[in-house]
Amino acid sequence: MSVRRLAEDQFQPAAFAFTAENAAWAEATIRKYPEGRQQSAVIPLLMRAQEQDGWVTRAAIEFIAQKLAMPYIRVLEVATFYTQFQLKPIGTKAHIQVCGTTPCMLRGSEALMEVCKRKIHHEPFERNESGTLSWEEVECQGACVNAPMVMIFKDAYEDLTPERLEEIIDAFEAGKGAEVKTGPQIDRHTSAPAGGPVTLLDEIRPVRSNLDPKPAEEAVSVPPGDAGRPKDTAAETNPAVKTPVTAPAAAQANAKAAEAGPLSGTEKSVPDPKAVGSTAEGAPAEGSDVAGTKK
């Protein structure tokens, strides 16, 4: 498993914005969540940003943090945790994620990685010469029964042999990835035993009486809890904090404010996330000492 860091500065664009269509989709997605829980849209928004640009840029992380009134570090944590999010440019036609966890390793994932090294690039995350293909090793993708397997974008390809993986890579390189059958690549129905079921062959009629829906008067509405909401006042969780690449003026102001005094733990130093004190470019607004902090 490789270390997950943002791409180097030379790859990072200066700004990010959703297209008009994606912006409308993002607004509709945010509205799906109850009042006060809009931050739950962070994963769908990151995924949409990735689908738009091909990978998740630092500017996109900042844009989404601002959109959801979240600290930048919280969105960064999500983007760097899940291997579904690509943090640097990947192959334009396919990025092969080879599962290398124990069941897949015991069933031949190392041979699959040899295929990737030979056909794409010796190093993971490096693109082939034409920039169309890349690969990486990932942890368990939840299809261990059908090991070994790879993910390509949102689809899984299971029960693989090196030869079958070569065919799949060739199909994607030829622009015919959509024609490749997803799921098991052998005669297996989903994750049932290869060759067909061997147990529970009799027809079983379930007794459904205890599964029927409860009458409406018994249903209880439970409001969402606060258990998953971080409550800290550390400086790095301040939503006004910007990175120097996408908001140089605001980052400079943050640094100056940090030199002048502690940024965390006091009412003076931690701005109200709802108080808008920065300009569109991220520079502190007039009357602000730190972006987002009114004097």
Which positions lie near ligand FES, rule CB under 6 A?
99, 101, 103-104, 140-144, 147, 149
Measured from the CB of residue 105, what is the shortest distance to ligand FES in angstroms? Answer: 8
* Residue labelled with tokens 């944590």: 77
Task: Report the alpha-carbon distance of residue 295 to residue 277 in Å, rounded.
Answer: 10
3-state secondary structure of 48: helix
| Cα dihedral: 236, 241, 246, 249 (round 10) | -130
For ligand FES, which is the closer residue by CB, 140 or 275? 140
Minimum distance from residue 5 beta carbon to ligand FES (Å)? 24
Nearer to ligand FES, 7 or 194 (CB): 194
What is the nearest approach in angstroms of ligand FES to the Cβ of residue 16?
32
3-state secondary structure of 148: coil
Q: Which amino acid is at 103?
A: P
Q: Which is nearer to ligand FES, 112 or 253 (CB)?
A: 112
Spell out the alpha helix ranges (H) of the chain.
Answer: 20-31, 42-53, 58-67, 72-81, 102-106, 109-119, 162-173, 248-260
Supply the minimum distance, in Å, between the C-beta of residue 183 and ligand FES.
13
Min dist. Cβ of residue 104 to ligand FES (A): 3
Q: Of the two residues 85 and 157, which places its CB atom closer to ligand FES in the complex?
A: 157
Q: Which is nearer to ligand FES, 104 or 291 (CB)?
A: 104
**Residue 184 is inside which H or E element, if any?**
strand 183-184
